[in-house]
Chain A
Amino acid sequence: MIRVNNLCKTVVTGGQQLDILRGISFEIKAGESVAIVGASGAGKSTLLGLLAGLDNASSGDIFLHEQNISRMNEDERAAVRARYVGFVFQSFQLLPGMTALENVMLPLELAGHRSPAAAAQTYLDKVGLSDRGGHYPRVLSGGEQQRVALARAFAVNPNILFADEPTGNLDEHTGQRIVDLLFELNSQSQTTLVLVTHEASLAACCERVLTIHDGQLHEHSSVESAAL
């Protein structure tokens, strides 16, 4: 599903060259759930951004669904995302001008779905927000906002779901409910899950754990050996 070959990312800040990722290679199979862990500033989000085609790599190749997205321009990568990818973010990233239902409808509309409203409502029902469809994000609690984000992510039936610290802005209890919901939906839809986190308990829910350290990637069979 995802294949990465010798991926490098270098940025220049304050006149200094900074190597964030140094020749990373790995593979994620369809239906797998993988946690990417590492200290703050290790490059987790950078890697996630590159895997999802949100940013350009300095060198190396990324194959998403057998398509080399590192050779694509921004619009071609966007088309790949629209077709195969779903997202869940730490800060929910709901559009403030749209209601919960409209937020879920948005990726469906972008993908040209025929009845986006009905599909969106189905997923709102699945996350337990049937009666909040007409509410704007500002009147929803953090947990509710993240549930809307989950509904939005799964509504397009993505092959791959990228989640960036999905519980980072939530309290422990709410966070746990979101994690349960995330994995429940994931198992229902057989989606490949790539999750960036620094929480051991969340990483432990995944089948594989990849650790970034000093621009390199290390694979661990269990979360304990990842030494978060």
Chain B
Amino acid sequence: MITRGLRYLVRAWRGGELKLLGFSLALAVAIVSGIAGFSDRLSRSMEQQSHHFLAADRVLKTARTIPDGWLDEATALGLHTATIASFRSMIYAGDGMQLASIRAVSDSYPLIGELGISETLFGPPMMRSAGPKRGEIWMDSRLFALLNIEVGGEASVGESDFTANQALISEPDQGGMNEMLAPRGMINFADLAATGVVQPGSLVRYRYLFAGSAEQLAAYEQWLSPKLDDGQRWQDVRDGQPAMAATLQRAEGYLLLAASLGVALAGAAIALAARRYGERNTDSVAIMKALGASRRQVLVHYGGQLCLLSAAAIILGGLGGHGLQWVLFASLGALISVDIPPASWRPLAVGAVTALGCTAVFAMPPVWALSKVSPMRVLRRGNDEAGAALLISALIGISGIGVLMWWYSGDALLTAAVLIAALVTGGLASALVLLLISAARRALIRGASGALRIALAAIYRRRVSNAFQVASFALSLMVLASLGVLRTSLLDDWRLQLPADAPNHFLINIQASEITALNSFFEQHQLKDAGLFPMVRGRLSHIDQQKISDIEGIDAQDGSINREINLSWAADLPEDNRLQSGRWWLDANTEVGDVIPVSVEAELAESLQLKVGSELRFNIGGQLLNARVSSTRSLDWTSMRPNFYFMFPPNSLENYAGSYITSFYLPTEQKRLLADLLRQFPTLTLIEVDTLIQQMEVIVGQVSTAIGLVLILVVACALLVAVANVQASLDSRLHENAILRTLGASKKLIIRGLLIEFAAIGLLSGLLAAVGSNIALMGVQYWVLEMEVVWHGTVFVIAPLVGVLTMCILAALSCRQLVTQPPLVVLRQAF
């Protein structure tokens, strides 16, 4: 039975009718399983990588210890736990002492990720999955330099002595820049009590780390939530790293959208190919029935072919999908720093269900219709296809696409939105095209001649299928335009756009007396710094003579206000700053009087309701400074150059004690220079942001490359739809053109007519796609991705251009046989 089925399949394949269908099915499986597998593994890897920022799956932050029962419950649920206590304390070594930020970590820390340590200062890290043992302290390299000891030396915290046996190079949960200001040390949690530094009332922060399966975490969260008070915060990676969370969510949204649209496009291609397969087999079925085949035999024959074809498509498509994942990850290899999770069976299952679903939904209705073909057709050709049957198979197809998308994305709202948008656009496009075709024929047919007349007649004769062709091609283009535009705007938004030599180290607390020596240090080692910026620390206390805490609408507890802020001065507007309102001082000396002008960062100005002319009062170390806002300016926080909320004219802050700040780029291989730098300038505070930048770059790079690759797959789907569309009309074109050529039309005339026809279809599709994609983009940007809504005018140029070019190339490739096959052969085959 199967052997015979395979033989039939091979025959039908050789006959050419199954090729497009088989190819569409295999490509659908490859794309779906490829995208599913790729995005599944990518998001798992991104999630893993982002969990490294927490060193756990979840973190409970609290200012005091939690009851023992809480950790016991977590352990009982199968979760892994770790504890961290962070506090500030002096570290002593020999004659040296230094205030440091110390973390006492339990033996199981870190639960996710690894610690990087080295036996040489600023040396290349060796990765370890556990923290210091009892009696050990790991300190960051600059702390060794500041305390003037070598690795292996002795250091004390409170009443305990430790061996400083490792330089701490990287921690998975390194945290933001504020936490990196003070040099860091790490000890074992079991040593904490003996140090005696943690007393009732001491400022200690606790972090309890949890890791486990999603179910275990959910169960624990449910148990824990009611017990938490206001001072305790339960965090996952999305709470812990807002930028990362947004990136992950957008990436997920994008991949989901791309994959769903890929499924819809592949489904449309399969439907078109299956319809043609049905049409081309109508006569064969009539012959088979005349030769004695029953309806069941017809169903078994063609259904069997489809089942075998699906099986082959699943195997080949699955392999293709796996290969696709491999190619995608290979091209991402350099960007992904964590291990890629192994491929799972789920993508292949998704692909298999997609193939079977597509076969059942798109290919079976034409086969069902085939089984009903009258054998009388062998004697008298008739139109077996009823309008109602077409409508029913269209409805089955659309519902099928919907179910597949829903099952695939797991998002009913997104599925409904995309489907309704597609149906409305498709319906409107079809109606519009029908109207346009009728109008064009009436307006042009009399004046037209030659190729244009042939093209117009051809478009009019196939107006219903042309309307469908324009609508489906417009939808494909719309999808492409939407995804293309989305990718660009997402990338612009995401990419840090840091040049390779962007500063990755900050030096603060530089005294005026150290500037000359520091500059010569930089010169000597050929380091490029971003320039020295003076800095005075002060607190903003009044706006327009009103205390900040009394002003309505201002959150006085806001972190950017309720702290000492770095104030700076400069003669010229810093390079990457842009004035938003007011003007920069021309000649500082003439303007500095009782009230000093100040330029404020635009977003802060807005949140403080500041305008040009607002009066500010600063408290700088007990001294008061009055200033008037002279301008607001925007600045690029990601430039990695020193940036300031408040900038004053030169010399206006000269009466206040201050220091300088700079940033510079130091390649990894020169990190050892930092030890020399800190030995030479022990009072400087060094902030290393290179690891942070690298981590962000990896994730952004990963996401943007993934999106580019997924877009290529969607383009393949859209091309398949276009090919299927052109193929669908090939038989009738072949016959018509054979008649035209028999009547004396030249090849050139027919080719020109064809090109005009297809170019018109491409142009119309492109224009409709431009309108549709702009509307769709607005919806997607607003509801799905929660981005700013922007109108994209360039799509109106690009989409029609792409439409015309694609259709013309497809016409040239697919319709070659229209003019190469002798008319006699065509006409003889027709009947």
- Which residues of B from 700 to 724 have beta carbons under 8 Å from A? none
Q: Is there an interface contact between B288 and A89, defined as CB atoms closer than 8 Å?
A: no
Q: Does residue A34 face the partner (Cβ distance < 8 Å to B)?
A: no
Q: Is there an interface contact between B376 and A106, defined as CB atoms closer than 8 Å?
A: no
Contacts A97-B11, A109-B4, A138-B829; is A78 near B378 (CB within 8 Å)?
Answer: no
Contact of B379 among A49, A78, A95 (CB under 8 A): A49
Inter-chain contacts of B376 with A (CB < 8 A):
49, 54-55
Q: Is there an interface contact between B295 and A74, defined as CB atoms closer than 8 Å?
A: yes
Q: Which chain A residue has the least Cβ–Cβ distance from B4?
A: A109
Mask, B810-831, CB within 8 Å of A = 1, is: 0000000000000001001101
Inter-chain contacts of B11 with A (CB < 8 A):
97-99, 102
Q: Does residue A37 face the partner (Cβ distance < 8 Å to B)?
A: no
Mask, A82-107, CB within 8 Å of B = 1, is: 11010101010111111100100011
Q: Is there an interface contact between A110 and B292, defined as CB atoms closer than 8 Å?
A: yes
Q: Is there an interface contact between B379 and A48, defined as CB atoms closer than 8 Å?
A: yes
Contacts A82-B292, A97-B11, A97-B15; is A55 near B284 (CB within 8 Å)?
Answer: no
Q: Is there an interface contact between B292 and A95, defined as CB atoms closer than 8 Å?
A: no
Contacts A48-B379, A54-B376, A138-B825; is A81 near B290 (CB within 8 Å)?
Answer: yes
Inter-chain contacts of A144 with B (CB < 8 A):
none
A-side interface mostly = helix
Q: Which chain A residue has the least Cβ–Cβ distance from B290?
A: A87
Q: Does residue A151 face the partner (Cβ distance < 8 Å to B)?
A: no
Q: Does residue B688 face the partner (Cβ distance < 8 Å to A)?
A: no
Contact of B375 among A78, A79, A91, A107 (CB under 8 A): A78
Query: Smallest Cβ distance from B18 to chain A, in angstroms?
Result: 9
Contact of B291 among A81, A96, A98, A164 (CB under 8 A): A81
Query: Smallest Cβ distance from A69 to chain B, in angstroms?
Result: 12
Query: Smallest Cβ distance from B269 to chain A, in angstroms?
Result: 21
Q: Is there an interface contact between A110 and B291, defined as CB atoms closer than 8 Å?
A: yes
Q: Does residue B279 face the partner (Cβ distance < 8 Å to A)?
A: no
Docked complex Cα distance between A75 and B296 (Å): 8
Q: Is there an interface contact between A78 and B284, defined as CB atoms closer than 8 Å?
A: no
Docked complex Cα distance between A154 and B284 (Å): 19
Query: Smallest Cβ distance from A46 to chain B, in angstroms?
Result: 8
Q: Does residue B58 face the partner (Cβ distance < 8 Å to A)?
A: no
Contacts A74-B295, A106-B291, A107-B292; is A89 near B379 (CB within 8 Å)?
Answer: yes
Inter-chain contacts of A54 with B (CB < 8 A):
289-290, 374-376, 378-379
Q: Does residue A111 face the partner (Cβ distance < 8 Å to B)?
A: yes
Interface size range of chain A in the complex: 35 or more
Q: Which chain A residue has the least Cβ–Cβ distance from B297?
A: A110
Inter-chain contacts of A102 with B (CB < 8 A):
11
Contact of B292 among A48, A49, A81 (CB under 8 A): A81
Docked complex Cα distance between A94 and B14 (Å): 15
Inter-chain contacts of B378 with A (CB < 8 A):
54, 87, 89, 93
Docked complex Cα distance between A55 and B295 (Å): 14
Q: Is there an interface contact between A78 and B380, defined as CB atoms closer than 8 Å?
A: no
Q: Does residue B801 face the partner (Cβ distance < 8 Å to A)?
A: no
Docked complex Cα distance between A152 and B290 (Å): 12
Q: Is there an interface contact between A96 and B15, defined as CB atoms closer than 8 Å?
A: yes
Q: Is there an interface contact between B14 and A97, defined as CB atoms closer than 8 Å?
A: yes
Inter-chain contacts of B14 with A (CB < 8 A):
97
Query: Smallest Cβ distance from A159 to chain B, in angstroms?
Result: 13
Docked complex Cα distance between A91 and B295 (Å): 23
Docked complex Cα distance between A85 and B290 (Å): 9
Q: Does residue B283 face the partner (Cβ distance < 8 Å to A)?
A: yes
Q: Does residue B574 face the partner (Cβ distance < 8 Å to A)?
A: no
Docked complex Cα distance between A91 and B827 (Å): 12
Contact of A82 among B284, B291, B831 (CB under 8 A): B291
Q: Does residue A64 face the partner (Cβ distance < 8 Å to B)?
A: no
Inter-chain contacts of A190 with B (CB < 8 A):
none
In the complex, 19 of the A-B residue pairs with CB atoms within 8 angstroms, ordered by the A residue number, are: A45-B379, A75-B295, A78-B297, A79-B294, A80-B292, A82-B293, A87-B290, A87-B291, A93-B290, A96-B284, A97-B14, A97-B15, A98-B15, A99-B11, A107-B291, A107-B292, A110-B288, A110-B297, A152-B291
